[in-house]
Amino acid sequence: MTSAKRFNGNLMDQFLKNGRSIILAYDQGLEHGPSVDFDNRNVDPSFIVEIASKGGFSGLALQKGVAERYYDGKVPLIVKVNGKSNLVKGEPVSRQTCSVEYAVSLGAKAVGYTIYLGSEHEAEMFAEFGKIQEEAHERGIAAITWVYPRGAAIANDTSKEIVACAARTALELGADAAKIKYTGDTQSFSWAVRSAGKTKVFMSGGPKAPTNDAFLIQVRGAIDAGATGVAVGRNVWQHAEPMKMADLLRQVVFENLQIPAMSKPAA
Amino acid sequence: MTSAKRFNGNLMDQFLKNGRSIILAYDQGLEHGPSVDFDNRNVDPSFIVEIASKGGFSGLALQKGVAERYYDGKVPLIVKVNGKSNLVKGEPVSRQTCSVEYAVSLGAKAVGYTIYLGSEHEAEMFAEFGKIQEEAHERGIAAITWVYPRGAAIANDTSKEIVACAARTALELGADAAKIKYTGDTQSFSWAVRSAGKTKVFMSGGPKAPTNDAFLIQVRGAIDAGATGVAVGRNVWQHAEPMKMADLLRQVVFENLQIPAMSKPAA
Amino acid sequence: MTSAKRFNGNLMDQFLKNGRSIILAYDQGLEHGPSVDFDNRNVDPSFIVEIASKGGFSGLALQKGVAERYYDGKVPLIVKVNGKSNLVKGEPVSRQTCSVEYAVSLGAKAVGYTIYLGSEHEAEMFAEFGKIQEEAHERGIAAITWVYPRGAAIANDTSKEIVACAARTALELGADAAKIKYTGDTQSFSWAVRSAGKTKVFMSGGPKAPTNDAFLIQVRGAIDAGATGVAVGRNVWQHAEPMKMADLLRQVVFENLQIPAMSKPAA
Amino acid sequence: MTSAKRFNGNLMDQFLKNGRSIILAYDQGLEHGPSVDFDNRNVDPSFIVEIASKGGFSGLALQKGVAERYYDGKVPLIVKVNGKSNLVKGEPVSRQTCSVEYAVSLGAKAVGYTIYLGSEHEAEMFAEFGKIQEEAHERGIAAITWVYPRGAAIANDTSKEIVACAARTALELGADAAKIKYTGDTQSFSWAVRSAGKTKVFMSGGPKAPTNDAFLIQVRGAIDAGATGVAVGRNVWQHAEPMKMADLLRQVVFENLQIPAMSKPAA
Amino acid sequence: MTSAKRFNGNLMDQFLKNGRSIILAYDQGLEHGPSVDFDNRNVDPSFIVEIASKGGFSGLALQKGVAERYYDGKVPLIVKVNGKSNLVKGEPVSRQTCSVEYAVSLGAKAVGYTIYLGSEHEAEMFAEFGKIQEEAHERGIAAITWVYPRGAAIANDTSKEIVACAARTALELGADAAKIKYTGDTQSFSWAVRSAGKTKVFMSGGPKAPTNDAFLIQVRGAIDAGATGVAVGRNVWQHAEPMKMADLLRQVVFENLQIPAMSKPAA
């Protein structure tokens, strides 16, 4: 009996430094629309691509169109291969908009795919990711999934149980890494990390927090729970001083900087 | 006139010992979510993979992601090639998440596919399994189906009639083995076994029973009804002493250990 | 201008004796479930396969799973390539579960496909049968369709008009033979036969009739109307003496045995 | 810059005589059912195939099954590659039942495809015809579309505006010819003909008219409006003397026979 | 690490003169129907094709059928590869009717695809455009998207926010150019242009404006906002003097002609 021949457990290695990672995410222009998240500065992808390399990020996640027009090859690229606007209401579904082959041609070292766990269209996304995951591995790149529990069936998408479901789904479907929401505390998030097993966990950065510490304390909590890192967008490129936030993030994630307990985010 | 050229009646042989079999199933992390079925011990796939070989199991059923990261090649592998979360309500459907080719590359000697018989999406799963069954046989591995009658049309999924439907569906669609629920007694289950004909029947282990005997008496009943064996998960890896339960299972299935009649499960 | 190159009008020849035919059908285990139609004797496919050859049947219709495990090569095989359970309610649809290539590998000389004419899913079955018919002809085997008008739009599926629709649909879509329900009398059924043109018509046997004559008078009527034969299941293998019924059928179909007029089925 | 390489503007030529054409259509057996349109004479496809050649028709439109069993190669063949029964209610859809390759193998010089313009399923038929049109042109045969505005959104399918929509759709989607309904007068129909541009327009014959002139005056009106010809079925093969009607049609279409104004159809 | 290999930022160059462009659009025959937008003059595609070259247009957008029958190779061709009628109500969807390969064979230097952003069918169009965009780039032609926010979820399809969403979607999905509606003023439209980044923006001409200036002031505003140009149909070929309007458009777009402020369109 032979064990698996195809799987390469090191596909995420190029996104890691001492086993930790900070990914800069910038697909909000499609997902939220430019008027919600962008200003005259960060509406320009060049601004973000520059932050990625100058800020010492471990990876950069872009949709195909932005990648093919702006990516400079300096930071390992993740091409998001599905997406949707937030204009459509009802049960969410996001379909493949970029082939794995095309992503590789753009320089991608990983593909990213969003699964709306619990949506009525979950089955369609499971099936689509199933093919993408296999093609990614056949082409020697990582398959990362953004697992977001969403839809009428989901009462609370940051509960310990639901976030653990998201993490586990990533492992079971063969994702090399999962981007999931933070549960709010280290203890509950560590259950999600355990549930993900060998699939690396990235905390989703979410909307801009009111203060640096309000955000960094979440990152600290996720890392302490065993997460590999964070996939962050708005908390960096909406920041008045993105390089300062990048510096802080690197300290928290790579150098174990502690965040003062008093600066907890408001409940 | 020539009879069939392709069919190999021995595809299940590597999962059998003297015609009997005990399969360890571990796809609950996807199907139920980690918080429902797992604790800190069994959330770790390594724990289960070790039980499979040390406990003398005949096969191990995993989703692709777990198989490619944890499978050690010691016990014949079944890769489950579809799956869903239990968050979505309504008529159940489970779509293919793993190709047969990929399953083979992971070392699979069989693929497993769940059919929700009686669901409004039954036709879609019949069609998908139809292709998987053929590709499995073309690649020389077995096709096993988990046949679970479910949906608004199903009043009682353990009635003699419905379980026999499940068993027969597996035969008619060309499955080499069927995992079906126990009907509650040997006599009614033997009708399911007869209905399955040459398709081998595995009793589905189901949730953890309150006592060893409460579970084993079901296994005994299924074996006495002519079942090939049992596909069991929670009753082993949720057990305080998995090796003890594995030992008991082997005795019941392979050595015809009888279970005392007084320890019947509560009605 | 050249006429058609591909069509072979003799594809049904191996199912015919002097232009007549008796096909033994045994897909009820999937379509109705074993508890509705089977007993301990006929639940076993071996019992039916033996009847097929010993009873002098012209063909045997099986689902792929039964064919690949039980077919003995003695009687020309028809593999049913779609099917459904009767558990699902609503507009009926039956999807392809077996490729034509696979059917051929099992020894099939024809494929069978059910079309629920008038169902809201009719278009899907028309399209699927369209491909199957072409592949069957490319591989040199016959394409037979079971045309069953069914769904909310069908008030009476045995009226002269509806049965003629079924017969004509088979011709127009290129089926080499059609299995259709009997209208109840020779005169009205002859309109269906005329509507089918060169597509051979087989009367569907239906449920077990109360007496031999009650069934045979229908067969007689169909043959007198110009039908090629009958595709019969339950009236043979549910019969206390299947060989006796087979003998009677052969006499009616091949030797023009007349059935006494007094033994008409109850209206 | 190069203009189109693939397009052959002469694909309809073999259906034309001095730029005019009369096509005999016979797909009503599938579309309406035999009991609505057929009698003992015209239920037999041989009867129609003989009319096609003896009556001097320019083309013959048949479904694949009829073509492969009855077509005699004497008149250029159009194979209808989609179809439906009229039993199903709701928004109409007609799916492909015959591949272009198969149609060519049957001797087709053109494929015919029905589009229900304005149906909720319009998009599906647009997409399907898009592929068929391209494959037809790649194989060197014409693509003809029957454009029938139908569904809840269509109040009057013979208004000047709607018929012009049908004609224009055929041009825009690349059909070489369009079969459309008559608007009732030459002036309004000429707008449809202009809208179709280089796509040739065939008036749809429709149900049997009460008198010869009632039908022929429509044909005359369509030809005077610039139509290429007529695609007619019931007005020929339901006629007591099909050859007489064929003769009249040839005179009207090819020899510009005028129809007396007094014999207008009742309003 | 290598940057993208496949992307060619110059695919739109042949449609540009000094970085500006005027595209003549003529797919209204399919989208609106001939009776809404056409008269006896402009119903004839030859009239439009002649305007394109004589009027000095930078490109000409046609559906496949019109392109293959009328395109004269004088102006760079854009083939619209999806389309729908406006008869169907409900959430809009437009499916692919022309392959990229076929468009190229017709001489296309770009393909055009409409996305109804915010429609319930958005996901289907995102996925379809995703494939078209890649195939266009593989074949060395540009992919242009008409992004029209539409459906029950869209309250105002010319608001600054919604138009910016449309523009950004084109960039994120990898379109080389976007045709979007004008917001009504330069300032708000410049946000859309910024949101589109390196994706070139064409203002959609829309319905015939009451006066030349009423239209040209919009064009002027779009160009001043940074747009590459305008994709215009009705305001040219419905104009009494199309050459005069073409001349004015060239002056506004290529020579920066200013439009008097007093001739603003009515609010």
The pLDDT of residue B265: 47
Segment D214-229 shows an average pLDDT of: 98
Record the pTM: 0.95
Q: Which residues pair with D21 in a beta bridge?
A: D229
* pLDDT over 90 at C6, yes or no: no
- Following DSSP, what letter does each residue of E60-110 receive, concatenated? EEEEHHHHHHH--SSS-EEEE-EE--S---SS---EE-S-HHHHHHTTEEE
Q: What is the pLDDT of residue C2?
A: 41
- Residues from chain D contacting residue E74 (CB–CB below 8 Å): 1
Using CA coordinates, name the residue in chain C closest to D86: C118
Query: Bridge partners of D230?
Result: D22, D203
Dihedral-angle region of residue B255 (phi above 0 means left; psi in -120 to 50 means alpha; beta otherwise):
alpha
pLDDT at C4: 45
| Span A108-126, average pLDDT | 98
| Residue (of C151, C154, C195) closest to C175 by Cα position | C195
Residue A264 has pLDDT above 80, yes or no: no
Match 């459906």 to its residue by tokens: E151
Residue B6: its pLDDT value, please? 60
- pLDDT tens for E219-258 read 999 999 999 999 999 999 999 999 999 999 999 999 999 9
Strands C200-204 and C229-232: parallel
- D102–chain E nearest CA distance, Å: 21
Token pair of A128 as six digits: 């689509």
**Interface residue ranges in chain D relative to chain C, Cβ cutoff 8 Å:** 27, 29-30, 33-35, 38, 40, 43-45, 63-74, 76-77, 83-85, 87-90, 93-99, 102, 105-107, 109
Nearest to B40 among A7, A175, A194 (CB): A194
User: Per residue in A237-247, pLDDT tens?
Assistant: 999 999 999 99
**What residues of C are in contact with residue D88 (Cβ under 8 Å)?**
118-120, 122-123, 151, 153
Contacts of E75 (CB under 8 A, 6+ apart): E24, E52, E53, E57, E58, E59, E60
Going by pLDDT thresholds of 50, 70 and 90, the confidence category of residue B217 is: very high
Residues of E in contact with A69 (CB under 8 A): 7, 9, 171, 197-199
Residues A79, A103: Cα–Cα separation, whole Å: 6
- Alpha helix (H) ranges present in chain B? 28-31, 34-37, 45-54, 64-70, 100-105, 122-138, 160-172, 186-196, 212-224, 234-237, 242-254
Strand partners, C144: C112, C177
Best to test chain E binding among D172, D176, D183 (most E CBs inside 10 Å): D172
C and D make contact (3+ CB pairs below 8 Å): yes
Would the pLDDT of E59 be above 90?
A: yes
pLDDT tens by residue, A70-89: 999 999 999 999 999 999 99
pLDDT (tens digit, 9 = 90+) per residue, B120-175? Answer: 999 999 999 999 999 999 999 999 999 999 999 999 999 999 999 999 999 999 99
Which helix (H) or strand (E) segment is E248 a member of? helix E242-254
Mean pLDDT of A52-64: 98
Task: Say how far apart CA D232 and CA D215 lie, in whole Å.
Answer: 10
Q: Give C163 to chain B, closest Cα distance, Å.
A: 25
Name every chain D residue with its beta carbon within 8 A of the beta carbon of E94: 123
CA A217 – CA D104 distance, rounded (Å): 70
Contact E87 D127 (CB under 8 A): no
Distance from the B187 Cα atom to the nearest Cα atom in chain C, whole angstroms: 13
Q: What is the CA radius of gyration of chain C?
A: 17
Inform me whether the pLDDT recorded for D267 exceeds 90: no
- Is the pLDDT assigned to residue E164 strictly greater than 50? yes
* Residue A266, pLDDT above cutoff 70: no
pLDDT of D5 reads 56
Residues of chain D in contact with residue C6, where contact means CB-CB under 8 angstroms, are 68, 102, 105-106
Tens digits of per-residue pLDDT, C79-121? 999 999 999 999 999 999 999 999 999 999 999 999 999 999 9
D263 pLDDT above the threshold of 60:
no
Q: Please compute the mean of the pLDDT values over residues C144-148 and round it to a whole number.
A: 98
Provide the pLDDT for residue D7.
Answer: 75
d(C-alpha C62, C-alpha C71), whole Å: 9
Joined tokens for residue E54: 């004589």
Q: Which of E77, E82, E102, E116 to mutate to test the interface with D (most CBs of D within 10 A)?
A: E102
Q: What is the pLDDT of residue D2?
A: 41
pLDDT at B251 over 70: yes
Q: Among the residues of chain A, which ranges form H helices?
A: 28-31, 34-37, 45-54, 64-70, 100-105, 122-138, 160-172, 186-196, 212-224, 234-237, 242-254
Confidence tier at E267 by pLDDT (50, 70, 90):
very low
Q: What is the pLDDT of residues D181-205, one digit of tens each?
A: 999 999 999 999 999 999 999 999 9
Instruction: Check residue E6 and give its pLDDT.
Output: 61
B116, B148, B181, B182: the catalytic one is B148
Inter-chain residue contact E165 with A89, CB threshold 8 Å: no
Q: How confident is the model at residue A5 (pLDDT cuts 50, 70, 90)?
A: low
Residues in chain A: 267
Report how far residue B117's alpha carbon sits from residue B120's, in angstroms, rounded to the nearest whole number: 9
Share of chain C above pLDDT 90, in %: 93
**Is pLDDT above 60 for C140?**
yes
Taking alpha carbons only, the member of C145, C147, C179 closest to residue C166 is: C147
Alpha carbon of A206: minimum distance to chain E alpha carbons (Å): 20
Which residues lie below 8 Å from residue D159, measured CB to CB, with a gap of 6+? D183
| D vs E: CB pairs below 8 A | 135
> Quick one: average pLDDT of D21-30?
98
- Quick check: do C and E touch, 3+ CB pairs under 8 A? no
B-side interface with A, Cβ within 8 Å? 27, 29-30, 33-35, 38, 40, 43-45, 63-74, 76-77, 83-85, 87-90, 93-99, 102, 105-107, 109
Task: Report chain D's mean pLDDT, rounded to a whole number.
Answer: 95
Residues 6+ apart with CB under 8 A from B194: B226, C34, C40, C43, C44
The pLDDT, as a whole number, for residue C8 is: 81
Report the alpha-carbon distance of residue B119 to residue B90 in Å, rounded. 9
Please answer whether residues A143 and A169 qualify as being in contact, where contact means their C-beta atoms are separated by less than 8 angstroms: no
Q: How far is C51 from chain B (nearest CA, A)?
A: 17
Task: Tell me the pairing of strands B177-180 and B142-147.
Answer: parallel
- Cα–Cα distances in angstroms (integers) from residue A216 to residues A52, A79, B66, C258, in the given order: 18, 26, 32, 92
What's the mean per-residue pLDDT of chain B? 95
Return the active site residues of D.
Answer: 148, 179
Nearest to B125 by CA among B135, B116, B134: B116
The pLDDT assigned to C215 comes to 97
Rounded to an integer, what distance in angstroms lies between the CA atom of residue E160 and that of residue A35?
Answer: 8
Considering CB atoms only, which of C29, C71, C105 is closest to B172?
C29
Residue A80 among the catalytic residues: no
Contacts of residue E165 in chain A, CB cutoff 8 Å?
33-35, 85, 87
pLDDT of residue A1: 37
Q: Which chains have 3 or more CB–CB distances shorter than 8 Å to chain E?
A: A, D
A117–B30 C-beta distance less than 8 A: no
Q: Please enumerate in sequence order all residues whose Cβ is within 8 A of that of E87, keeping only pairs 6 or more positions apart, or say none.
A: D117, D118, D122, D149, D151, D153, D154, D165, E33
The residue with tokens 């949906």 is B151
String of DSSP letters for E186-237: HHHHHHHHHHHTTSEEEEE--SPPSSHHHHHHHHHHHHHTT--EEEESHHHH
Contact A/B (≥3 CB pairs under 8 Å):
yes
Average pLDDT over residues C223-234: 98
Model confidence over D80-123: pLDDT tens digits?
A: 999 999 999 999 999 999 999 999 999 999 999 999 999 999 99
Chain E residues within an 8 Å CB radius of A75: 1
Cα separation, D91 vs E83, in Å, equals 19
Distance from the C213 Cα atom to the nearest Cα atom in chain D, whole angstroms: 30
The mean pLDDT value for A185-202 works out to 98
Give tens-digit pLDDT for C29-74: 999 999 999 999 999 999 999 999 999 999 999 999 999 999 999 9
DSSP D43-58: TSHHHHHHHHHHTT-S
Non-local CB neighbours of D191 within 8 Å, separated by 6+ positions:
D160, D164, E34, E35
D3 pLDDT tier (thresholds 50, 70, 90): very low
Q: Which residues on neighbouring strands pair with residue B96, listed in sequence order?
A: B82
Residue A267 has pLDDT above 60, yes or no: no
Q: How far is CA D167 from CA A44, B5, C137, D164, E33, in A?
A: 46, 54, 36, 5, 9
Q: Does residue E131 carry a catalytic annotation?
A: no
B153, C88 contact by CB (below 8 A): yes
